[in-house]
């Protein structure tokens, strides 16, 4: 039988809090079994899950030779940001503004977990292509010529913007705000089918959650 990881072990591997692990297990977003009143996580399935996503919350998911599947994080940003504290601040900030927020490096690799993700984003996350497509879009934001945040449409049709994280005069990472519906929402049925095809998921999965998005007025977007 596959080794079962405890919740504590999984929080150390993913570098997220216990509540996040419970929520992911309850929502079926991560391989898990319930033993009595406690969640357990089959190690082999967790390794496969990490590899299928390409990155675990933006960190390389490939297990190193010693068998440790704990994903490495961006050392520069880790030294710059106390991630445990930053995550709590980011959670409160995202809920206050009514947006999704996360921190990435300049290559689009997520350093924090998404705070306040909308249901539409979570549905899309079930795609094995989701992390790759998000990273591509976030990396594109990093190379936009304007230093000022500007909301841009993503591969999901939602708006997102980035602000740079600096250490002195050096840009180290980005704060991404997203999950925001544009003025015309939802997309047409044809557009939803195109999005689903790009992600490799059933269009009905996208359609069921398409109204579960964040909304900001134009004035709020420009604030």
Q: For 7-48, how does the pLDDT look when each residue is reduced to its tens digit (9 = 90+)? A: 888 888 877 778 888 888 887 778 888 777 788 888 888 887
| Residues 6 or more apart in contact with residue 128 via CB below 8 angstroms | 52, 53, 200
Q: Which of 75, 82, 84 is nearest to 109 (CA)?
A: 75
Is the dihedral angle over the CA atoms 62, 66, 68, 73 positive or is it negative? negative
Residue 188 pLDDT greater than 90, yes or no: yes
The pLDDT of 84-111, averaged and rounded, is 88
| Residues 6 or more apart in contact with residue 109 via CB below 8 angstroms | 55, 58, 59, 74, 135
Q: Which of 145, 73, 85 is nearest to 109 (CA)?
A: 73
pLDDT digits (tens, 9 = 90+) for 109-121: 888 889 999 999 9
The pLDDT of 121-144, averaged and rounded, is 89
- Please report the pLDDT score of residue 43 as a whole number: 84
Helix (H) and strand (E) counts in the chain: 10, 9
The Cα 36–Cα 200 span in angstroms is: 35
- Band (75; pLDDT cuts 50, 70, 90): very low
CB 4 within 8 A of CB 33: yes
The four Cα atoms 49, 191, 103, 214 give a dihedral, to 10 degrees, of -110
Mean pLDDT, rounded, of the chain: 80
Residue 57 pLDDT greater than 50, yes or no: no
- Please report the pLDDT score of residue 46 as a whole number: 81
CA-to-CA separations, 72 to 10, 59, 101, 199, in angstroms, rounded: 14, 6, 21, 26
Decide which of 58 and 40 is more confident.
40
Residue 85 pLDDT greater than 80, yes or no: no
Q: How many CB atoms lie within 10 A of CB 190?
A: 8
Residue 66 pLDDT greater than 80, yes or no: no
- Please report the pLDDT score of residue 124 as a whole number: 92
Which residues partner with 178 through β-bridges?
100
Residue with structure tokens 């990881």? Answer: 5
Query: Could you tell me the two tokens for 212?
Result: 């579960």
Phi-psi region of 36 (alpha: psi -120 to 50; beta: other; left: phi over 0): left
């Amino acid at each position: 039988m596959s080794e079962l990881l405890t919740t504590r072990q999984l929080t150390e591997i993913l570098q997220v809090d216990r509540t996040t692990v419970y929520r992911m297990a309850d929502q079926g977003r991560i391989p898990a079994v319930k033993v009595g009143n406690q969640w357990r996580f089959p190690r082999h399935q967790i390794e496969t899950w990490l590899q299928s996503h390409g990155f675990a919350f933006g960190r390389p998911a490939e297990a190193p030779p010693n068998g440790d599947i704990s994903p490495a994080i961006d050392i520069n940003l880790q030294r710059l940001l106390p991630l445990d504290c930053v995550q709590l601040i980011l959670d409160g900030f995202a809920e206050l503004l009514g947006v999704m927020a996360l921190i990435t490096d300049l290559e689009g690799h997520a350093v924090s977990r998404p705070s306040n993700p909308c249901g539409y984003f979570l549905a899309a996350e079930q795609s094995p292509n989701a992390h790759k497509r998000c990273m591509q879009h976030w990396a594109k934001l990093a190379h936009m010529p304007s230093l000022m945040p500007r909301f841009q449409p993503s591969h999901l049709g939602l708006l997102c913007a980035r602000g740079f994280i600096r250490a002195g005069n050096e840009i180290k990472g980005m704060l991404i705000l997203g999950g925001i519906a544009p003025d015309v929402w939802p997309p047409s049925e044809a557009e939803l089918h195109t999005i689903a095809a790009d992600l490799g998921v059933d269009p009905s999965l996208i359609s069921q959650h398409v109204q579960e998005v964040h909304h900001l007025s134009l004035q709020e977007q420009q604030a």
